[in-house]
C-alpha cells in the first residue's frame, strides 16, 4: 500500500488540508473558507469557550491532536480571538512538536469576517496547492492505526461482523500496527476478560479504572445505564443485556494482548491492540479515535448507519444480510455468510482485509463517497447554573 509521508515519519492514507475552528464563534467562518477551496476540510467545534477543568483540557488536546492526524497535510487554525482555547498559543504549542504546515488567523485580528474570509481562503488555497505536490510513497501495514467501532448493533454484530473485523485487527497487530477498541460503556461486563489479556499489570489496572470509573459515575449520577444501553434498536435486534452487547463488541479487537489504555483523544505510544476511553455515542467515539491518530476505521453495524468522518475513511460492515440489502448505499461489506453458514469468519476476514488495503490505497467506502462528515468532540464536565429545574 501507499501513503503520504509526514514530517514525523507517519503515513497518511488521505491528504487533507484542515480548516480547524477553535470555537463555535468561528464555525461559520471555517465552513465558508472550505466552501471556496476545493480540497479543504472544515472541522467545526461545538465549544471552545467558557470551558473549565477537564472539559477544556479534552477540547484542547483534541484540537491539538487533530492537526497531527497523519491524514492531515496541514492546518489553518481559525479562531474568533477571545476564546479560552487561545488559538495563537495552541498553534505555538503544536509547532513545538510538529513540522507540518500550520497557519492561524482570528476573525478579530483580521478585522471582521469579510477580511478573515479573504485571508483564510488565500492561506487555504496555498496549503491545498502545496499538499497536491506530495507524492504517495510505499507504506507498510504496520504504519496503520486502525480504529474500530460498533453502532446500531444487533445480535449478528457479535456473531459475524465483529469477529470478522477481529481477523483484520489481528493482521494489523501482527504486522506491527496499532488497533484501537473504544466505547467504554460497551466494555462493561467484559473487564475481567480484557484485563486478563493486558500486556502488563498497569494496563489491567487501567482497564478496571475506566470501566469501574464509568460504572461509579453512573451510580453517582443516579442513572441506570440500561436506559440507554442496549438501545431500543439493539434490543429489537436481539441483544438483551449490556453484557451480551459488550461480549459481542470486544471481538472486533481480535485476540492479541492489550498494550495500552489511552484517555479520550490521546494517541497511543504503544503499538498493538489499544483501548481508548470513548463514550458509547458513535460520532464522539469515532471522532476521539481520529484525534488519537487513526487513519482509517472499521465500523460494524447490525441495523445500519450512514456515519462517516471528515478526516478518515469509515468502512461499514454488517453481519445482517437484510440490513445489507436494505441499506446497501451505506454499507461496504456483507459478513452475513458467517451467520448463514455459507462462509467462515477467516474467509470473510481475508476479504475484509483486502477491502481495507483498497481503501488505504484510495478506494472510497460508502460514507466517504457520500460525503458523510460527522464529527463531534466529547466534552464532559459542564458547569452551569442548574438552579431552575
Partner 1 sequence: MAKRALLMADADDVATVIEAVCAGDTVAVETKQGEAVEELASAHDIPRFHKIALRDMAAHDIVHKYGQVIGEATAPIKRGDYVHIHNIESIKTGVER
Which parts of this chain interact with partner 1 (CB under 8 A)? 154-156, 158-159, 188-190, 193, 215, 218-219, 222-226, 235, 237-238, 240-244, 247-248, 302, 320, 338-341, 345
Q: Which is nearer to partner 1, 49 or 321 (CB)?
A: 321
Q: How far apart are the first and last CA of the chain?
A: 56
Beta carbon of residue 239, minimum distance to partner 1 (angstroms, whole number): 9
Q: How far is residue 173's CA from residue 272's CA, in Å, rounded to a whole number?
A: 5
Closest CA to 119 of 108, 129, 130: 108
Give me 341's grid cell: 453458514
Beta carbon of residue 189, minimum distance to partner 1 (angstroms, whole number): 5
Beta carbon of residue 168, minimum distance to partner 1 (angstroms, whole number): 18
Q: How far is residue 5's CA from residue 262's CA, in Å, rounded to a whole number?
A: 25
Alpha helices per DSSP H over 222-344: 232-236, 242-249, 282-291, 321-326, 337-340
Beta carbon of residue 346, minimum distance to partner 1 (angstroms, whole number): 11
Q: Which is nearer to partner 1, 202 or 224 (CB)?
A: 224
Beta carbon of residue 146, minimum distance to partner 1 (angstroms, whole number): 23
Sequence-distant (≥ 6) Cβ neighbours of residue 45 within 8 angstroms: 20, 21, 22, 23, 24, 26, 27, 59, 63, 85, 377
Q: Which is nearer to partner 1, 87 or 230 (CB)?
A: 230
Beta carbon of residue 188, minimum distance to partner 1 (angstroms, whole number): 5
Beta carbon of residue 303, minimum distance to partner 1 (angstroms, whole number): 11
Q: Which is nearer to partner 1, 82 or 219 (CB)?
A: 219
Q: Which is nearer to partner 1, 132 or 342 (CB)?
A: 342
Work out the burial of residue 233: count CB atoms within 10 Å of its CB; fewer than 13 is exposed, 13-18 middle, 19 or more buried: middle
Q: Which is nearer to partner 1, 204 or 338 (CB)?
A: 338
For residue 230, whether the previous peptide bond is cis, meaning omega lies within 30 degrees of 0, is yes
b/e burial code for range 353-386 (CB count within 10 A of at least 16 → b): bebbeebbeeeebbbbeeebbbbbbbbeeeeeee
State the pairing for strand pair 102-106/137-138. unpaired
Q: Which is nearer to partner 1, 237 or 365 (CB)?
A: 237
Amino acid at each position: 500500500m501507499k501513503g503520504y509521508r509526514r514530517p514525523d515519519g507517519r503515513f497518511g492514507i488521505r491528504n487533507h488540508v484542515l480548516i480547524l475552528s477553535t470555537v463555535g464563534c468561528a464555525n461559520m467562518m471555517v465552513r465558508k473558507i472550505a466552501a471556496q477551496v476545493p480540497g479543504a476540510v472544515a472541522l467545526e467545534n461545538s465549544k471552545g469557550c467558557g470551558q473549565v477543568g477537564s472539559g477544556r483540557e479534552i477540547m484542547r488536546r483534541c484540537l491539538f491532536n487533530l492537526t497531527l492526524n497523519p491524514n492531515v497535510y496541514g492546518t489553518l487554525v481559525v479562531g474568533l480571538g477571545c476564546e479560552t482555547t487561545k488559538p495563537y498559543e495552541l498553534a505555538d504549542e503544536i509547532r513545538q512538536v510538529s513540522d507540518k504546515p500550520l497557519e492561524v488567523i482570528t476573525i478579530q485580528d483580521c478585522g471582521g469576517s469579510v477580511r478573515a474570509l479573504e485571508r483564510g481562503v488565500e492561506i487555504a488555497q496555498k496549503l491545498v496547492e502545496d499538499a497536491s505536490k506530495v507524492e504517495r510513497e510505499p507504506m507498510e501495514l504496520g504504519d496503520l492505526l486502525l480504529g474500530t467501532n460498533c453502532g446500531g448493533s444487533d445480535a449478528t454484530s457479535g456473531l459475524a461482523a465483529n469477529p470478522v473485523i477481529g481477523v483484520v485487527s489481528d493482521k494489523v497487530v501482527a504486522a506491527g500496527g496499532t488497533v484501537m477498541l473504544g466505547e467504554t460503556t460497551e466494555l462493561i461486563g467484559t473487564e475481567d476478560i480484557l484485563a486478563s489479556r493486558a500486556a502488563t499489570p498497569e494496563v489491567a489496572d487501567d482497564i478496571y479504572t475506566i470501566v469501574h470509573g464509568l460504572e461509579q459515575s453512573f451510580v453517582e449520577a443516579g442513572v441506570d445505564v440500561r436506559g440507554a444501553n442496549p438501545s431500543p434498536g439493539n434490543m429489537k435486534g436481539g441483544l438483551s443485556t449490556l453484557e451480551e452487547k459488550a461480549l459481542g463488541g470486544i471481538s472486533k479487537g481480535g485476540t492479541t494482548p492489550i498494550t495500552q489504555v489511552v484517555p479520550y483523544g490521546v494517541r497511543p505510544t504503544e503499538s498493538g491492540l489499544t483501548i481508548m476511553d470513548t463514550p458509547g455515542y458513535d460520532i464522539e467515539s469515532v471522532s476521539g479515535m481520529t484525534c488519537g491518530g487513526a487513519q482509517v476505521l472499521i465500523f460494524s453495524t447490525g441495523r445500519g448507519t450512514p456515519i462517516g468522518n471528515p478526516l478518515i475513511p469509515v468502512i461499514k460492515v454488517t453481519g445482517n444480510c437484510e440490513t445489507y440489502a436494505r441499506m446497501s448505499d451505506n454499507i461496504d461489506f456483507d459478513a452475513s455468510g458467517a451467520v448463514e453458514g455459507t462462509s467462515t469468519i477467516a474467509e470473510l476476514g481475508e476479504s475484509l482485509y483486502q477491502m481495507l488495503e483498497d481503501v488505504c490505497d484510495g478506494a472510497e467506502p460508502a460514507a466517504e463517497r457520500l460525503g458523510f462528515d460527522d464529527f463531534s468532540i466529547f466534552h464532559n464536565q459542564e458547569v452551569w447554573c442548574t438552579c431552575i429545574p
